[in-house]
Chains A and B, each alone.
Chain A
Amino acid sequence: MTALAGGAAGGTASAGAGAPGTAGAAGQAPDARTAAFDAAVAAEERIEPRDWMPDAYRATLVRQMAQHAHSEIIGMQPEANWITRAPSLRRKAILMAKVQDEAGHGLYLYSAAETLGTGRDELLDKLHAGRQKYSSIFNYPTLTWADVGAIGWLVDGAAITNQVPLCRCSYGPYARAMVRICKEESFHQRQGFELLMALSKGTPEQHAMAQDAVDRWWWPSLMMFGPPDDESAHSAQSMAWKIKRFSNDELRRRFVDICVPQAEALGLTLPDPDLRWNPDKGENGGHEHGPIDWAEFQAVLKGNGPCNEQRIAQRRAAHEEGAWVRDAAAAYAAKHAAGEHGKAEAA
């Protein structure tokens, strides 16, 4: 628990009692616990695993962290698709390290979700059964090497824009996991940008490959921020709980403003004829973009994207084909914990 956390459980009033945690909260009436929780959130204190929290807050966090963890491990697939074909050893090393980072992010996030009482196995079962989602962006295919760069620049760029505010999320373990993840993601984003720069400045064929990738990944990247604010199912409550800090549309606007000058630096064109600077937008002006095809977003979300079935099938296959390995590790651990070596009983 952090120093701030005592107040989150027992309420700020009892924070000085020197007994942070659940003990004080357990004896309080439900209204008092809710009030203490709300006060802790309002005071920007971190909620920690042993603190009392509303059931709906817990459920929202589990849903979001699971979806985030699933996105990391499903997101390995489109990029791993190019590990064996990376065109230089340097690029191969960068890509392998990146895919490995994603597995690591999955581990942190499943562990963070576990602090809320939901284990990794249960969450994976839900993913495999299609009962929990992952980011729809990974249902698009990586067709050329340039897609690896476009994912780094745009997809990781969008992810960072979404995730940096999560470093201040009210739930402590999630916020701390995000600090580490965001550092690595920003590294990935720069690597993707640099990969595209090499292609853009390379041969005409390489330049065309880079432009084609940006053409295909731009709109799906904008969709990563989720539906417009007036249609977002979970946003209002998450904002109140300080799980979410900025609205979908606000984050999308920031992302577009960041990308436009970067695309210019790359010598690549963003595929939106309506994209233009509006000096009257917001306080300092901002970009206007053309309409997003939300019908496509909904279709991919519902399972009708190009790779939805393929991604889940590969994940399930890896899990099912690995069952005997996990069983062996468990049997070995049980056998050696019990101090007996007879292998006959193990099976």
Chain B
Amino acid sequence: MSAALALGDDALVLSHRLGQWAGHAPVLEEEVALANIALDLLGQARVLLSLAGDEDELAFLREERAFRNVQLVEQPNGDFAHTIARQLYFSAYQLPLYRELAAGDGPFAPLAAKAAQEVDYHLDHARQWTLRLGDGTQESHARMQRACDALWRYTGELFRPVEGLGVDPSALEQGWLRSVGEVLERATLTLPDGPRSGGWAAGAGREGLHTESFGRMLAEMQHLHRSHPGASW
């Protein structure tokens, strides 16, 4: 079930990153909102990983090279603008993907139907903040533009084929570009124009090649579970 791992790892890893915001968010409402998105994604991850095996074994006992998430979701939180840009790029991909999956009759359809409603909210949240940061102050505009530019190179990977998925992600690419382009324009931001894939470093997460910070993230996430082999929690 490599497709279940791909989608499950995307959700698991992004949830973990969002969970790192707890206690650090810029405003109390965002403590609630970011945790909410993290919880939705964790719920999705648990269903998806359970399709592929034991959720805890998969989350806590695999080595870095066995994770199949895209590199975009493992990128560190950075400032709030980076977190929002990462969420905008990812949710704008995940929503149409889940809708396609929900419309089919494959193994992901039931989860995708429920999760699409959650992701609809995640995308709205990211759009609303993209507008506010892009069209807010000079500083927020500059930070948001930097974040959009910095994460752009990780977006090409989203549209690579995933074995066993039943949907061709490349068919979603033009819609994604329109969707992201439209919100960036309204936010007075410029759609980045650098390469979106190509170098192995930006776009091989599905093959188990990740970025350096991912190993440290996993070390922290897995440490306690691995320290007590066979224990129940």
Binding site for B on A (CB under 8 A): 73, 76-77, 80, 83-93, 96-97, 99-100, 103-104, 106-107, 110, 120, 145, 195, 198-199, 202-203, 205-206, 314, 317-319, 321-332, 335, 341, 343, 346-347
- The complex places the Cα of A318 from the Cα of B221 at a distance, in Å, of 23
Given A85-B220, A96-B42, check contact A346 B138 (CB 8 Å): yes
Known contacts A92-B42, A341-B135; can you find 4 more A-B pairs with CB under 8 A? A76-B31, A89-B49, A96-B39, A331-B137
Smallest CB–CB gap between B23 and chain A, Å?
4
The answer to whether A347 touches B24, judged by C-beta atoms less than 8 angstroms apart, is: no
Residue in chain A with minimal CB distance to B225: A87
Among the 9-residue stretches B52-60, B118-126, B203-211, the one with 4 or more Cβ atoms under 8 Å from chain A is B52-60
B212 at the interface (CB under 8 A from A): no
Q: Are B31 and A326 in contact (CB under 8 A)?
A: no
Cα of A326 to Cα of B31 in the assembled complex, Å: 13
Minimum CB–CB distance from A57 to chain B (whole Å) comes to 26
Q: How far is the CA of A206 from the CA of B56 in the complex (A)?
A: 18
B136 beta carbon closer than 8 Å to chain A:
yes
- Top 8 A-B residue pairs of the complex, sorted by shortest distance between their CB atoms: A322-B26, A328-B136, A347-B138, A328-B140, A100-B35, A103-B31, A80-B22, A325-B26
Whether A205 contacts B228 by the Cβ 8 Å rule is yes
Sample of 9 A–B contacts (CB below 8 Å): A76-B31, A89-B45, A93-B43, A103-B32, A106-B28, A198-B232, A202-B233, A325-B27, A346-B135
Q: Tell me which of B79, B137, B230, B233 contacts A87 (CB under 8 A).
A: B233
Cβ–Cβ contact B26 & A326, under 8 A: yes
Q: Range of interface residues on chain B?
A: 35 or more
Q: Within 8 Å CB of B30, what residues of A?
A: 322, 325
- CA A91 to CA B228, docked complex, whole Å: 15
A326 to B28, CA, bound (A): 11
Q: Which residues of A contact B151 (CB under 8 A)?
A: none
Residues of A close to B29: CB separation below 8 A: 107
A203 touches B38 (CB 8 A): no
Q: Determine the distance from Cα of A319 to Cα of B25 in the docked complex, in whole angstroms.
A: 8
- Is there contact, CB below 8 Å, between B132 and A76? no
CB of B162 closer than 8 Å to a CB of A: no
Contact A324 B135 (CB under 8 A): no
Interface of A is mostly: helix
Residues of A within 8 A of B20 (CB): 83-84
B143, A335: Cβ atoms closer than 8 Å: no
Cα-based distance from A198 to B221 in the complex (angstroms): 20
Taking CB atoms, residues of chain A closer than 8 Å to B224 are 85-87, 145
Rounded to whole Å, the gap between the CB of B14 and the closest CB of chain A is 13
Considering the complex, give the chain A residue whose CB is closest to the CB of B144: A328
Q: Contact: A93 with B39, CB < 8 Å?
A: yes
Asked whether B39 lies within 8 Å of A73 as measured between CB atoms, the reply is: no
Contact B80 A83 (CB under 8 A): no
In-complex Cβ contact of A85 among B49, B56, B131, B221 (8 A): B221
Report the separation of the CA atoms of residues A88 and B43 in the bound assembly, to the nearest whole angstrom: 13
Residue of B nearest to A341 (CB): B135
Bound-complex Cα distance A314 to B31 (A): 14
> Among A92, A198, A205, A322, which residue has the most Cβ atoms of chain B within 10 A?
A92
Whether B80 pairs with A198 at a CB distance below 8 angstroms is no
